Every structure is written in structure tokens, then in C-alpha cells.
Structure 1
Amino acid sequence: MHPYAISALSATAIALLLSAAAGVAHAQPQKMRPGLWENTVSMKSQSGQMEAAMAQMQKSMASMSPEQRKQIEQMMAQQGVGIGPKGNTVKVCISPEQADLDNIPQQEGCTQTVKRTGPSTLAMTFSCKGAAGQPPSSGEGTMTFSGPTAYAGNFKLKTTTAGGKPELIEMAQTGKWLSADCGAIKSVR
């Protein structure tokens, strides 16, 4: 596996993570706090192919020289992406305007429906067109908030494997507000 490659399933999951985080502000009575957010997602695929691809990528990174590994990790960090043993993380900057409008833009090529099912719980469905070598995907899930700075959610994602077979991925996701200053991370467009 090429060291710069991230599996199509992982890229799709990260796109959905961003889309799900975008849905947070739509139905939240207390607005999402603007600033730097860290979203962590752990995934389990029905076939095990995604986990095998991630293990191979981590093995490839482990076999790199320390300089090469540091360069790859820095490149990913500049994009707000981290890969670790407890899950993948994505840092996202939410501008004050985006939080005020309750209309944070979605990931390109994705649509979603968000519905409040309780004072602090949202149910959502989503669908993403396949793009840039990624298969189309759809899913549903719930998010529960513990205030304007944290949430947890569970999602089921339907997609296809690289071989064209149907795939079901279960995702557990958490989000936490880190700071009002986003640093080098740019606002979601």
C-alpha cells in the first residue's frame, strides 16, 4: 500500500464524520460552540477489509524511516487528521458565523436529514455520492449532546468494498470542543 493512500472506506467514513458534525448545529437548541473541534471515530466493518487496510497502512508507516513517518504524520496533522489505535481523529474549525446560522456546510456530495428525537438527541440519515474513487454510501445514526462542547454518536454506514460487494460499517463517534482558536485549521466551507 502506498504510504500516502488512505483506504476508500476510511476516506468515506471521514467525509461522513464531517457531514455528521455539520448536522450538529441544525437542531441543537443551545448552539454549537465556535472554534476548534476534535471528532474521533472508531469503525468496525462487517467484512474486516477496512480494518485489514488500516492495519496494512499502519504497518507501512511503522516500516518507514523516522523522518518519512514524521513527514507523513505532519502532512496529515496539517489537514487535521490523525490515525491512532483508539480511532481516527479529524479536527474541524467551526466559525462563529457558521455556529450562529445553524447551517454549517455539509461535505460535498452528501445530503442529510436531521431530526430532534429528544432534548439532547438527534437522529439523522445521510447519503453521499461516490467521488474520487470512493463508492456511494448511505447510513443513519444518533447523536447525544452533553452541552455545547461535547457529543457522542453511533452510526451504521452502507457502502461497497473495493471488490464491489455490499459492506456494513458500524461507527462510534465522539466530538469535543478544544478551543476558540482554530490555529492552522481552516473553517469548514
Structure 2
Amino acid sequence: MHQRFVHQAGFAVMCLSITAVSFAQPSLPDREPGLWEVTLKQGSSMAAMLEGMQETLAQMPEAQRKQMEQMMAQSGASFSQPNVLRQCLTAEAAKGEFKPTVDDAGMQCSEVDWHGSRTEGRYSMNCTNADGEWKIDGRIWDATSKSYKSEMTLHGVVDNQPVSIEMSQAARWVGADCQGIQPLQ
């Protein structure tokens, strides 16, 4: 069970990293640097995955549980609020161009296909890893310097099983102080 949990946690971190993107495509407004709070829509497959990991975490030995909690906390995730992710944006990342990032060295991704305006946009990209190919499609709307809404779907394979993940979220700027959250790279 522990191996399965670690694999799920690693996959969730990879997916969360995809949501931890710089949405400042030249056509969208630059975001404020600092701490951002991203709330995943209840009932989304990503929120359900994190809630399931919370149950598995409760069954782990204390030392392993604390290690996993620390790893997730450094990434801005908390099992006490599985549908909330906190992100630290540097000034450079807040003004960077739109580009989803994947924190998995084994994942190779195509260039982002982006179409947008001043307040909304759509994107898609394909990624491959040892398990196969991933198709990623997303939409951002109501984008301002201090908030945005987005949704994304990922279709691919994990442990030789087809997986579809939908994420819908709302993000808001909390303040300039990142409160110990590691900055996005």
C-alpha cells in the first residue's frame, strides 16, 4: 500500500505542478508576485485523489506520514485542506509567459498551443513518459493581476491503466509574503 501511495503522491505532485503555471501570457495581465491560493473545485478528480491520499496517509506509520506531509507542505499542499494549494510566485514567474510546467524529468512535452485574449485563453499540449502519451487541454478566464479561474483535463496512462483527470480551480493573490512556501521555478 505504501508504494501505491508514493506513486499516487508523485503523480499528484506532477499534476499540481502543471496547475502551478505562470498565466501571464503577453495577452493576459501579469500576476502579482507573492503568495497565491489555488482552490480546486470540490468533486473534481484531482480533489478526490488528494482526499483519497489523505485517508491513506492516516494509515501510514508516523515517521512516513510526517515525511510525506513535509514534502507536500514544501509544495504548498496540505492534507488538512486537500482542495487548496498555495503557490509562491517570484516577480520573474509572475511576469513570465504562459507555459505549464511538469516537474518530472521523465516527461517530455510539446510546445504549448495557446489562443487567447486579455482576460481568457485556451491551451493544449502533448507529453510522453515511460507509460505513454498524455494529452493536456486547458482554459483560463476572468484573469486579472490578483485572480483567475481555470480548468484543465489530462488524459494518459498510470500503472498501465488509462487515467483521465479533470481540474477546475479558482486562484487569488494572498499577499507579497510567501510564508515559507518554496517559489515556483
TM-score range, shorter chain: 0.7 to 0.9
Q: d(CA) in 2 for partners of 1:105 and 1:13?
A: 10
Q: Could you tell me how far 1:80 is from its partner in structure 2?
A: 1.5
Q: Is 1:149 the equivalent of 2:151?
A: no
Q: Evaluate the alpha carbon distance shift between residue 29 and residue 154 of structure 1 in structure 2; reply closer, same or farther with a 3 A threshold.
A: closer
**Which consecutive unaligned segments of at least 5 residues does structure 2 have?**
none
Aligned residue in 1 for 2:94: 99
Distance 2:7 2:154 in 1: 18
TM-score (norm 2): 0.73
Q: Partner amino acid for 2:101?
A: Q
1:112 and 2:112 aligned: yes
The 8 Å contact of residues 104 and 188 in structure 1, kept in 2 or not, is answered as no
User: Is residue 25–residue 103 contact of structure 1 (8 Å, CA) maintained in 2?
Assistant: yes
Deviates more, 1:171-180 or 1:58-67: 58-67
Aligned residue identity for 1:100: K
- Over aligned residues, Cα RMSD in angstroms? 3.3
Query: Contact (CA 8 Å) 2:17, 2:101: kept in 1 or not?
Result: no
Q: What's the CA shift for 1:144?
A: 0.9
Distance 1:115 1:74, change over 3 A: same
1:63 aligns with 2:59: yes
TM-score (ref. length: structure 1): 0.72
Counterpart Cα distance in 2 of 1:178 and 1:139: 28
Looking at structure 1, the residues matched to 179 and 113 of structure 2 have their Cα atoms a distance apart, in angstroms, of 31
CA distance in 2, matches of 1:53, 1:100: 30
2: distance between equivalents of 1:136 and 1:146?
30
**What is the match of residue 6 of structure 2?**
5
Change (3 A) 1:62 1:178: same
**Runs of 5+ unmatched residues, structure 1:** none
Q: Which runs of 4+ in 1 moved over 6 A?
A: 65-68
More moved, 2-11 vs 72-81: 2-11
Deviations 1:112-153 (A, max 9, x none): 22221x44111111233327xx75422212111252111111
Aligned length: 176
Pairwise CA distance, 1:6: 4.7
